[in-house]
Amino acid sequence: MKSVAEICSDLIRFDTTNPGSGERPAAEYVATLLADAGLQPEVFESAPHRTTVVARFEGDSSDALLIHGHLDVVPADPAEWELHPFSGEIVDDCVYGRGAVDMKGSCAMTLATVLGMRARGLRPRRDLVLAFLADEEATGDYGSRHAVTEHRDLFDGVTQAISESGGFSVTSGPSRVYPIAVGERGTSWMKLTAHGVAGHGSRPAVDNPVATLAHALSRVASHQWPVRLTPSVAALLRSLSEITGQPIDLERLDDEADRLGALGTLFKGQIRNSANPTMLSAGYKVNVVPSSAEAHVDGRYLPGLQEEFLSTVDELLGPKITREFVNLEDAPSAPYPSSFFDELGAALVAEDPLARPVPYVMSGGTDAKSFARIGIEGYGFAPLMLRPDLDYFGMFHGKDERVPVEGLEFGTRVLTRLLTHP
Ligand SMILES: [Zn+2]
């Protein structure tokens, strides 16, 4: 049987850059592993080479748990890396390559867990649905969104899901904090357009859309979004002050996030909505005032705050800018406290006595949003014990992405325990 590190290396060697040539070879590899273990994977494509694999592993209860991961990765420039990003080499006990952390390492843990259980004749406590998806690094249109609309039946009976962006360790003094995601900020990607009057660039401008848009974007970019403490983030802050033994001043949360270093990154981007201008285009010649100008803004809002977010954006933009959504997605939120959260935490503590599980909200988004649409409660739980010197957040979409072999082995033990122990 292949080890978790070998599976991780194998997956990294398939160049599944998105946008790129698609996930098919990686999906076929996954399907072969699952079929060899006696499962019956379904392989389907939303477009040529945009491939997803789903398999069901029957357990003792039909209340099913979904474990989903994505097979695509963001681009990597080999010139910036010490080792080739698609080499999958193991050096210094780490598997190197694009996707090691996000999230082929997690896919490898899921596969190693399931293959190990099959080899030992272990049945899961509840039905497991395993999904290895295309297109998470874009909008999921070719992956999770397609899967929940066109292959809804494959997820029958699923009530809860676990996936990326949680369950990893952040070392703090003598304890290891493991954030488990119980929600995500919502996504509001917007295209803004300013209309004006075209004319000669040498004449006094009457209604210049470039200037109108620039003013509006400047208001958006410099807006100080007020702190909004959602219940999950408030719970996280309580846990962190308990773990560190020091109170956290709720009136000065930005300073407190900086003071707490790695632990501060768990809430720094999760205490308010945000909107960042990211793309801009207008005009075609230096002496021509164009009739319109366009920009894109990446907006994110906390669970429950979509309305407040959009009305603030509209106020900042003013009446002369029209806004349309390129992508609008709800901010999903899973129950916390909950018995399932406790199960996830207990599986970590059983394998790492120093583990301190805490609730956490993701600042960005994942495929959990698509599954939330069909009523599945998503938790970010891809267990990984990391060395204190590894900058986990820095490696997401960063260069020299790598994951410790022992971290992967730890995660595989935690998952096996979660799926099999009462
Ligand atoms: Zn990811």
Contact (CB, 8 A) for 223 and 217:
no
**Distance between Cα 133 and ligand 1 center (Å):** 11
Query: How large a percentage of the chain has pLDDT more than 70?
Result: 100
Q: What are phi and psi of 403, to 5 degrees?
A: -140, 135
Dist. CA 27–CA 22, nearest whole Å: 10
- How large is the average pLDDT for residues 91-99? 96
Dist. CA 129–CA 65, nearest whole Å: 6
pLDDT > 80? residue 101: yes
**Distance between Cα 103 and ligand 1 center (Å):** 5
> Domains plus CATH for the chain?
4-165+366-420 (3.40.630.10), 185-329 (3.30.70.360)
Residue 279: asked if its preceding bond is cis (omega within 30°), the reply is no
**Distance between Cα 28 and ligand 1 center (Å):** 20
**Distance between Cα 136 and ligand 1 center (Å):** 7
- How large is the average pLDDT for residues 117-134? 97
pLDDT > 90? residue 172: no
What pLDDT is stored for residue 162 in this prediction? 98
Q: Residue 200: which pLDDT band, with cuts at 50, 70 and 90?
A: very high
Type of residue at 408: L
**Distance between Cα 378 and ligand 1 center (Å):** 14
**Distance between Cα 207 and ligand 1 center (Å):** 44
What pLDDT is stored for residue 41 in this prediction? 98
**Distance between Cα 318 and ligand 1 center (Å):** 35
pTM of the model: 0.93
Query: How large a percentage of the chain has pLDDT more than 90?
Result: 92
If one compares 378 and 363, the residue with the highest pLDDT of the two is: 378
**Distance between Cα 198 and ligand 1 center (Å):** 44
**Distance between Cα 132 and ligand 1 center (Å):** 12
What pLDDT is stored for residue 175 in this prediction? 84
- How large is the average pLDDT for residues 191-200? 96
pLDDT > 80? residue 391: no
Q: Residue 395: which pLDDT band, with cuts at 50, 70 and 90?
A: confident
**Distance between Cα 337 and ligand 1 center (Å):** 25
Dist. CA 368–CA 353, nearest whole Å: 29
Dist. CA 143–CA 70, nearest whole Å: 8
Q: What is the pLDDT of residues 300-330, one digit of tens each?
A: 999 999 999 999 999 999 999 999 999 999 9
**Distance between Cα 117 and ligand 1 center (Å):** 25
What pLDDT is stored for residue 237 in this prediction? 98
- Quote the radius of gyration of the chain (alpha carbons, Å): 23
| Angle between helical axes of 104-119 and 405-420 (0-180°, round to 10) | 50
Contact (CB, 8 A) for 95 and 159:
no
**Distance between Cα 336 and ligand 1 center (Å):** 23
**Distance between Cα 108 and ligand 1 center (Å):** 13
Residues bordering ligand 1, an ion, CB closer than 5 Å: 102-103, 164
The token pair that represents 382 in the structure block: 């891809």
Task: Write a three-state SS string for the chain.
Answer: CCCHHHHHHHHHHCCCECCCCCCHHHHHHHHHHHHHCCCCCEEEEEECCEEEEEEEECCCCCCEEEEEEECCECCCCHHHCCCCCCCCCEECCEEECCCCCCCHHHHHHHHHHHHHHHHCCCCCCCCEEEEEECCCCCCCCCCHHHHHHHCHHHHCCEEEEEECCCCECEEECCEEEEEEEEEECEEEEEEEEEECCCEECCCCCCCCHHHHHHHHHHHHHHCCCCCCCCHHHHHHHHHHHHHHCCCCCHHHHHHHHHHCCCCHHHCCCCCCCEEEEEEEEECCCCCEECCEEEEEEEEEECCCCHHHHHHHHHHHHCCCEEEEEEEEECCCECCCCCHHHHHHHHHHHHHCCCEEEEEEEECCCCCHHHHHCCCCEEEECCCECCCCCCCHHHHCCCCCCEEEHHHHHHHHHHHHHHHHCC
**Distance between Cα 163 and ligand 1 center (Å):** 9
**Distance between Cα 70 and ligand 1 center (Å):** 7
What pLDDT is stored for residue 422 in this prediction? 73
Q: Which of 399, 416, 369 is nearest to 185 (CA)?
A: 369
Dist. CA 334–CA 344, nearest whole Å: 13
Q: What is the pLDDT of residues 372-390, one digit of tens each?
A: 999 999 999 999 998 887 7
Average pLDDT of the chain to the nearest whole number: 96
Dist. CA 297–CA 312, nearest whole Å: 14
Dihedral sign (CA 381, 382, 385, 391): negative
- How large is the average pLDDT for residues 260-280? 96
pLDDT > 80? residue 10: yes
pLDDT > 90? residue 17: yes
Dist. CA 281–CA 333, nearest whole Å: 35
